[in-house]
Copies of this chain bind each other. A is one copy, B any other.
Amino acid sequence: MLQNDLLLRAAKGQEVERAPVWLMRQAGRVLPEYRATRARAKNFIDFVKNPELACEVTIQPVDILGVDAAIIFSDILVIPEAMGLPYQMIEAKGPWFEKTVKNKNDVEALHIAEAGNLDYVLKAIRLTKKELNQRVPLIGFAGAPWTLFAYMIEGSGSKTFSKAKQFLYTQPEVAHLLLEKITQSSINYLKAQVEAGADMLQIFDSWAGVLSENMYYEFSLKYISKICDALSPLVPVTVFAKDAHYAIEKIAQTNCNSIGLDWTIDPTKARNQAVTKTLQGNADPCLLYAPEQKIISETHSMLKSFGKQRYICNLGHGLYPDLDKEKVKLFVDVVKSYNWTS
């Protein structure tokens, strides 16, 4: 039995004494302890594939920052790799794929990933669950099919993802074929994460914002919805579609439990658009550069807007690596010590 199940109760819409708090990229470079562990791996891919190191950095923020959940340290691009499209992580540049998907043949050459292809993540989850010893829930995750697709076509990060979008416009049937393969892989992967011990799941649609509303529904949300259907009601699922301000009402119609919001979204509007769901977010990560008093007042104002129930406190995006660990901890402390009357 979990000693702290605030996150799970909040996600399920059950009553809580206060909102839980965790931070996207909490297992990351903002912690000197993370950087020390990271230095013990040869490169990023080896780091991700080492269950002992992954377990270590996953637990660090629970110990150091006092967050109400751990999220397994991994990378969204493990799925493309497991499907047959390996990548490198280039320092200060981001992911890079030597081979990209260009046509139907390339899609057919990829296989649907099975749990066995991602055994190192499952091992990390089992190890972490054991080490956490029921202190807080462990979150598993995957990238949304569209976001993974975008990298598999583009071959790297991009401001516009214009190659990936060009593919949607010129080869829509092939795009759906690939999205379906990614979706099936993701379902296999996420179910295996739950079997290995993940208490909750999050789907990251990091590049939702480059699509128009109709394209988003056709090429992204449709597949996210399939994943939610396949996972429900195993564990609660959060969908975080960054910059998809237009899609909140439609995301609320999927079988997800909670919806992640970036910092451009007004909490009150989001409440009205997603009355039956829990909301997660949405402080601007840059707020944590501010003087302490500003961090406190802005966080209080955010907590007041969201209210105590059906709310998971988080940022609107991942922590930036150059943030001050003490200010990150302050944010967590402010949430936990807030006078939660409403």
Residues of A within 8 A of B (CB): 157, 159-160, 162, 165-166, 168-170, 209, 211-213, 215, 243-246, 263-266, 284-287, 289-291, 294, 317, 320, 322
Contacts and interface: CB of A to CB of B under 8 A. Distances in A.
A246 B245 contact: yes
Sorted from nearest, which 9 A-B pairs have the closest CB atoms?
A169-B290, A165-B286, A166-B289, A212-B263, A245-B245, A169-B289, A212-B284, A162-B320, A246-B264
Number of copies: 2
A209 B243 contact: yes
A160 B211 CA distance: 18
A196 to B, nearest CB: 33
Contacts of A168: 286
A149 to B, nearest CB: 14
A297 to B, nearest CB: 12
Nearest to A157: B159
B170 A290 contact: yes
A289 B170 contact: yes
Contacts of A317: 160
B213 A266 contact: yes
14 contacts: A160-B320, A162-B320, A165-B289, A169-B291, A169-B294, A170-B289, A170-B291, A209-B243, A211-B264, A212-B284, A213-B266, A243-B264, A245-B246, A245-B264
